A = this chain, B = another copy of it.
Amino acid sequence: MSEFVVCGRLLDTLALREATAEVAALRIDAEGVIVERAPDGTDAFDALRLRDDAIVLPPDHVLIAGLSDLHIHAPQWPQAGQALDRPLEDWLGAYTFPLEARYADPAFAKAVYADLVLSLLACGTTSALYFSTIHEEASLELARACLAHGQRGFVGLVAMDDPGLCPPDYRHASAREALDATRRFIAAVRALPGNDRGLVQPVITPRFIPACSDALLEGLGALARETGVRVQTHASESDWAHQHVIERLGCTDSEALDRFGLLRPHTVLAHANFIDRDDRDRIRARDAAVAHCPISNAYFANSVLPLREILDEGVRCGLGTDIAGGYTPSIFENARQAVTSSRLRESGVDAGKPPALRGGVAGARVDFLEAFYLATRGGAEALGVSAGALRPGMMFDAVAIAGRRGHLRLQDDDTAATLVQKIVCHAGRETIVRVWVDGRAIKLKSDE
C-alpha cells in the first residue's frame, strides 16, 4: 500500500471525559501510521484535501477510531442469543462445552470464524481479543481468518487441564500438554503466512483459575515471561468463581495471577466484577487491564462491575462483548449497557424499598463520553496497541459512520459530546459504511 489522505469530520477521545470533533485531514503513510493531522482552515488541510489520493468523506459522515472488543469467545458465535436463561453450570455443561468440543473439526471452525470476523468488522471492531478453544488447528483458523479479512486479532488457544471442572472430552490431559500446545501455538501464529507485520498475535490464555492446575498456571506465567506474549483470562467473574479461588489459593484472582506471573503489562482480566480496592491497585501497578462485559454480567455475574472506581483510580479498562455470555457482537451496544448498568448500580433496583435502602452505590454512574473512551482508546490502551484515536503516531484503525442512517440523526452543529452520545446510543452495524485496520481498507461483507 502507499500513502493516502482521509478528509472528513473526525471524532475521537484521548481522555475519559473529553472528546474532540473537527473537520480535518489525516495523512496515513505506507505503514498505516497517521503521520499528519491538519484541521480545516489551515493551509495544510487545503493541500491534503486536494491530493489525488484523498478520500473525502461526505459531510454527514463522522470518522471515529476503530473499536476494540477485549473479550470474546470466538467458538461460541453460533450460540449468540441462546440459552441465557439457563444457570451458568447448565449453560456451560449442556451448551457451551459441547459446542466448543466441536472445534476439533477445523472445517467447522473455518466456516464459523470467517463469519465471525466479518461480522465484527462490520460492527466496527478493528481489534479483538479472542478466546478460541483448546484445538490448535481450529485456533489457527481463527488467526488465519483475522489475517484474511484484515482484523487486528489477538488469539488465545485456551488452556484448561483441571479434571474436576473440565469435561473429560474437552480439556488438556495434563499441564505439560497444555503448555506444549500453547508454546506450539505461539510459534505457529507468529509464523503464519501474511503475518509479517504482526497483525495477528498469540495470547496466553488460561481459561480461568478454577479450570487450571497450579502447575499449568505456573508454567504459563513462565512462558509469558520468556516470550513476552500477552495474557488473558477470566477473573473474579461471579460469586462462585471468586470464592472458589479464595478457597483454593487463599487469595483473590488478581493476587493469585500475580503470584503465577500472569498479571503483566496488558494482561486482560475479563469481567473482574468482584475486585476490591487492593485488586484494583495491583492491576494498575502491573499495567494490566479489565475487560468490562456489561451485558454478559447481567446474566452470569450476579452484580455490576465497580466501573466508576476503576475509572477514577486510573485502572486500564475497555469493553468486551463476551460472546456468547453476552448476545451481541456490537461494542456500541455494550457501551450503552455499561452506562445503563452503571445507573442501576447507582440507584439500586428494588422499588419496594426507600432510595437509601435500595442497594445502590452513591456516585456510581459513568457517562457516554466515558463509554466511548472505553470502546475506542481505552480498549487500545488495554491491549497496548498504538491506536484508538485519530492522532499522529497512531495506527490508522478507523470507522466511518453515516450520520443520518438507521436511528442516527447527527446534526452539523452537534457538539463533540452530543455526537458521542448519539453515536453510543444509536450506532451499529447498519450505520457503519467504511472500516480501516492498520491503514488498510477492509472489504465489508454486504448484508444481502
A: which residues have CB within 8 A of B? 78, 80-85, 115, 119, 239, 273-274, 276, 295, 298-299, 301-306, 327-330, 336-337, 339-341, 343-345, 347-353, 355, 358-361, 365, 367-368, 405-407, 409, 418, 421-422, 424-426, 428-430, 447-448
**Across the two chains, which residue of chain B brings its CB closest to A447?**
B405
Q: Is the CB of B447 within 8 A of A358?
A: no
Q: Is the CB of B343 within 8 A of A306?
A: no
In the assembled complex, 20 residue pairs joining A and B whose CB atoms fall closer than 8 Å, in A order, are A78-B409, A80-B426, A81-B407, A81-B421, A84-B421, A85-B365, A85-B421, A115-B409, A298-B343, A299-B343, A302-B358, A303-B350, A304-B350, A337-B340, A341-B349, A344-B349, A348-B349, A405-B448, A406-B429, A430-B447
Q: Is the CB of A119 within 8 A of B368?
A: no
Q: Is the CB of A359 within 8 A of B368?
A: no
Q: Is the CB of A359 within 8 A of B348?
A: yes
**Across the two chains, which residue of chain B brings its CB closest to A365?**
B85
Known: A85-B367, A355-B239, A425-B327. A409 touches B80 (CB 8 A): yes
- Contact among B327, B360, B426 for A349, CB-based, below 8 A: B360
Please measure, in the bound complex, the distance between the C-alpha atom of A119 and the C-alpha atom of B405, giving whole angstroms.
10
Shortest CB-to-CB span from A139 to chain B, Å, is: 21
- Contact among B82, B85, B428 for A428, CB-based, below 8 A: B428
- Contact among B276, B344, B365, B409 for A304, CB-based, below 8 A: B344
Give chain B residues whose Cβ lies under 8 Å from the Cβ of A302: 347-348, 355, 358
Give chain B residues whose Cβ lies under 8 Å from the Cβ of A341: 298, 344, 349
Shortest CB-to-CB span from A436 to chain B, Å, is: 22
**Across the two chains, which residue of chain B brings its CB closest to A405?**
B447
Q: Is the CB of A368 within 8 A of B84?
A: yes
Give chain B residues whose Cβ lies under 8 Å from the Cβ of A298: 340-341, 343-344, 347
Shortest CB-to-CB span from A241 to chain B, Å, is: 12
